[in-house]
Structure formats: structure tokens, C-alpha cells
Amino acid sequence: MVRMTDVTKVYESSGTVALDGVDLSINEGEFVFLVGPSGSGKTTIMKLITGEIHASSGSITVNDFDMMRIKRRKLPKMRRTLGVIFQDYRLIENMSVYDNVAFAMRVVGASGKEISRRVPYVLELVGLEGREKRLPGELSGGEQQRVAIARALVNSPRMIVADEPTGNLDPVRSLELMLLFEKINEMGTTILVVTHEKELVNAFSKRVITIDGGHVISDGMDGYYSYEIE
Amino acid sequence: MRLSRGGYLIREGFRSITTHSFMSFASVTIIMACLIIMGSVSLLSVNIDALIKDLENQNEIVAFVDDSISDEDEARALESAVAAVENVSSVEFVTRDEAMDNFMSNYDDELMEGIDETVFRHRFIIHLTDIALMAQTKANLEAVTGIAKVKAHIEYANTFVTIRNIVSIVSLVLIVMLVFVSVFIMSNTIKLATFGRREEIAIMKMVGANNGFIRLPFVVEGLVLGMLGGGLAFVAEWGIYELLTGKLMGTLTGSFITVVPFSSVALTVLAFYMGTGILVGVFGGVNAIRNYLKV
Ligand SMILES: Nc1ncnc2c1ncn2[C@@H]1O[C@H](COP(=O)(O)OP(=O)(O)OP(=O)(O)O)[C@@H](O)[C@H]1O
Ligand SMILES: [Mg+2]
């Protein structure tokens, strides 16, 4: 769940106003696409949700945590309610596929028994069975992306946020990924996906939030990508 | 912390040593090199100090027994009073006969023709604990009843004290400087070694790891690398020391120079190397990743 009220983000270093009075609300169990042109502030919204950066003004609540007032040492607790997927996967290069997923469980203090039961299940869910021992560098882009997804899923987070997860995937793989997200969403997990891909968005009838120049310019349940790519 | 997690963290520490083997090698080598330089300077100063102490000990004080006490046993009885004087470390009684024999053996017999043993007095050969206090001790010895006169080379003593002070100040300054330089070099090496881990740490933070969880493998890693560096430096130092002192003794046989055997300082060197290695490894590692944790 995300509540943003009148959120402004100014990057001090460049003076860029990345977000300007954004109001946005995502309820528990929703599936939402966030679209908009390059530089419109999509990644900025993602980073505000994960607590990587701080808003300049306004109020933000994520999974019941007040992000404007949260203490640095409380961030880990907040982040454990999220599954974050990055465009560039961000896997640990010298860890096997299995360990890349398992360490996310170790982080939260899961027992060895829980880990050895849960990790294979999640790897199978994303279609990576048989790849457990490989290193990320020995996988295709799509496979690496699925490791990142498995890692985001493994702790059964309340919400998954994905910043352009299909950026490096072919259309078929992209569609497969969205179907996987839909499956996860049906199990009760809130999903927020940033994407540029019009066809993909339009293939699903989901809620679409469009942002441009740091403002929300449309928000509808029609599942239509209203922003035209130049 | 749960045991299963502790096991994981320790395994993780070892894993990162082997996966970042080049950087681990670099850190260990730098720690080793710094320790060996510091250790060698310290050992050199220990040896110079021992040498000076040795020379000091050859600088003895002679306390002559009053002429009025000619009886040997009576004179010998003064020994306890002499030994009781502050700063006296050893006392040796020498009878006038022995003193004469000793004297004669150093000179031509003819020259000594007709010299009577009564010319010599009973005496005590005295060594001091601290030669810096020689003048004071000389006065105290003269105050002992039955002691007529005390012969001491106070000017020599003062020279030795000055030399020793200079040596200890110079080596202290040198060691302090080396400690600073070493810590600087070592912490930079460790920073370099952990630079590649930035991304890994950022990822861990994003999945909700708290700082302790991220830091612990680095502590284990620093501990192991520090111990390795300290241990290897000890072995190397031992080898270098034996080699150099062996060469030195070979060329200086029969001279007055003796070196401190490594075995007598081995434990101190080992403790210092291990301690410094571990301290630098652990604090260096934790300090190096401090900035990466702020995400
Ligand atoms: N760390 C930063 N420092 C300064 N300015 C930044 C920083 N990150 C982003 N910006 C600026 O903020 C604006 C919004 O950037 P943001 O990354 O949110 O865009 P985006 O919608 O994710 O774009 P894209 O689709 O290209 O990923 C841009 O003008 C960008 O230049
Ligand atoms: Mg972006």
C-alpha cells in the first residue's frame, strides 16, 4: 500500500524538480502500471517508496510506515515488506542463483530449514529449476531477470515494486513476466510496475498511472496507455 | 543471534576472502609489510638498548674498605650493608690478595717487584640497577661505615644515559610515525579492497538487511586476514632476524657485541603482530564499508 500526498522531490545537486505535487494512492492487492516519458520521475517515485531517497515535502506512507519520519535503523524492517526489482537485476555476481535468492531469506533471519524449503519452490515458480548452481554471469538476460524476481518474491512481501523489469527482455519474455506478476497478484501481493512498453500495458486491463514532468496526468482503470511515445 | 545465522555469517566471511582473493592477498601483504617494518625497527632498538645495558654493566663501581679493617672476615661482613644500599644490583667481595693478583697479572712482574699486598685494600665490586643514579648511589655507599672511598666513572655513566635516551626517543618517534603510516596505508588498501563490494552492500540493504548483518562477514573477514597477516609477518620477521643476526655474529665473532635471541622476544612480537593485524583488519574493514551502509 502506498499513499503519497502533495509529494515534491527536488534533487539538490542539480536543482531538478523531479516530482511536483504528486498525489497517488495504491491499495492493498492492486496491480498498477506506472508509465511516462523518460525523465518524468518514475524512478524517483520508486526510490521514494523504497526509502533510497527522501522527499523534499509532502507525506508518504508505505505499508503503514511513515516514510517522512522513519528512522534509518527502521528502514530494514520497512524494506522487508517490499520486494524490489531493478531494471539492471542487481544480482550478486559471485553468488550462485540459489544463494542470490537464499541470502534474502537469511537477511530476515529465516532458518536453514525454511530456506531449503522455500527457495526451490520460488525458483520453480519463476522457471529456474535446474539453474540453481549457476552464477549470474552464466545466465541469459531473461534468466537473470527471473532470479531478481525470485529474490523479490522469496520473503512473500506485501508489495512488489519493479522498475522497468522488462527493459532487457524480448516481447515474449516480457509477456511471460507480466503473467507471472498477475499470478503473484492473484495470491494477494500488491504490484507496482514501471514500464515504457505500450503494447504490454494495453494487453492487460489494469490500472495505469501516467506521469509527465513530475505531475500525475492521468490515472484510470481502463488499462490504456494514454501517453504517446514520440 | 541464532546459531544457524552465525554459521552462515562465518562461512560468508570466508567465502568473500576466496572470491576476492586478489584483494585479500593485497591486504594481507600490506599488513605484513607494515608489521615487518615496524617490528624490525623495534627489534633494532631493543638490541641497541640491550647492547648499551651490557656496556653499562661493564662500568662497575669499586668501594674500598677502610684501611683500619684489615681482617678479611670483618671486611667481608660489610657486604650486607653495601648490598642494602639503594640501586645496588650486585656486590662482589674482593680481598686485597685477589686484588693484588689481579693487578699484577696485568702488569710486568719486574715493575711490581717489592710491592706488598698491604698497598691494596679489601674492596667490593658493585653493579648498579640504574646507572643514571650513579652519583647519588656513590654518595650513599661512601656513607656506609667501614667504606673509605668509592671509585666511580660518573662521566661515562652520563654518556651512556644520554645515548640510551637518544636511542629510545628516536626509536619511539620512528615507531609512532610508522604506526601512522601503516594504519593509513592499510586502511586505504582495505578501502580499495571493499570498493568492489559497494554494489553488493547496496543490494543487501535493498532486501532489508540491517547493518549488523552486512558488517559481520566483514568483521570475520578482517579478523581472518589480520590474523593471517600478523602470523605471516611473525614467521617472516623470525626468518629475517635469524638470517641477519647469524650473518652479523659470523663477521663479528669474538667481539663484545651480542644480540638478543629471537626466542626471548618471540612471544611479545607475536602478540603485537597478531593484535595489530586483527585490530587493523577488523576496524579497517568495518570503517571501509561505513559509507556504503548509508543507503
Ligand atoms: N540523483 C539525481 N540527481 C539529480 N537529478 C536527478 C537524479 N536522479 C534523477 N534526476 C533527475 O530527475 C528527473 C526524473 O528522473 P527519474 O529518474 O525519476 O526519471 P524516469 O521517469 O525514471 O526516467 P527513465 O524513464 O529515463 O528512467 C530527471 O530530470 C533526472 O535528470
Ligand atoms: Mg527510470
Per-residue model confidence as pLDDT tens digits over B87-115: 888 888 888 888 778 777 777 666 656 66
Residues B167 and B235 in one domain: yes
Using an 8 Å CB-CB cutoff, list chain A residues near B199: 90
Number of compact structural domains in chain A: 2
Please answer yes or no on whether A90 and B5 come within 8 Å at the CB atom.
Answer: no
Strands, E assignment, B84-215: 88-94, 123-128, 147-151
From ligand 1's centre to the CA of A16, what distance in Å?
8
Residues B94 and B212 in one domain: no
Residues B196 and B284 in one domain: yes
CB contacts under 8 A, B 73-112 vs A, are none
Out of B117, B152, B187, a domain closes at B152
d(CA A83, CA A191): 9
Q: Is the pLDDT of residue B3 over 90?
A: no
Counting atoms of ligand 1 from 1, which one is nearest the CA of A14?
A: 4
Residues A68 and A169 in one domain: yes
Using an 8 Å CB-CB cutoff, list chain B residues near A84: 206-207
Residues B273 and B192 in one domain: yes
Average pLDDT value for residue range B123-133: 86
Residue A204 lies in a domain: yes
Out of B152, B182, B214, a domain closes at B152
- The secondary structure of B17-62, three-state, reads HHHCHHHHHHHHHHHHHHHHHHHHHHHHHHHHHHHHHHHHHHCCEE
What pLDDT is attached to residue B10?
77
Residues A107 and A121 in one domain: yes
Question: B102 lies in which domain range?
Answer: 60-152
Q: Residues A38-85: pLDDT tens digits? A: 999 999 999 999 999 999 999 999 999 999 999 988 999 999 999 999
Out of A108, A137, A156, a domain closes at A156
Using an 8 Å CB-CB cutoff, list chain B residues near A50: 206
Question: A115 lies in which domain range?
Answer: 91-156
Residue A86 lies in a domain: no
Out of B152, B174, B195, a domain closes at B152
Residues B82 and B225 in one domain: no
Share above pLDDT 90 across residues of chain A, in percent, rounded to a whole number: 70
Q: Residues A94-107: pLDDT tens digits? A: 889 999 999 899 88
Residues B41 and B168 in one domain: yes
Residues A148 and A168 in one domain: no
Residues B166 and B245 in one domain: yes
Residue A123 lies in a domain: yes
Q: Is the pLDDT of residue A229 over 50?
A: no
Residues B103 and B134 in one domain: yes
B209 in contact with A, Cβ within 8 Å: yes
Looking at every residue in chain A, the average pLDDT score rounds to 91
Q: Is A87 in the pocket of ligand 1 (CB under 6 A)?
A: no
pTM above 0.90? no
Residues A120 and A10 in one domain: no
> What is the CATH classification number for the domain harbouring B96?
3.30.70.3040
Number of compact structural domains in chain B: 2
d(CA A23, CA B28): 54
Q: Which residue has the higher pLDDT, A79 or B165?
A: A79
Residues A67 and A102 in one domain: no
Residues A208 and A148 in one domain: no
pLDDT band at A220 (very low <50, low <70, confident <90, very high): confident
Work out the angle between the directed axes of helices A97-107 and A141-153 (0-180°, nearest 10): 20
Residues B94 and B40 in one domain: no
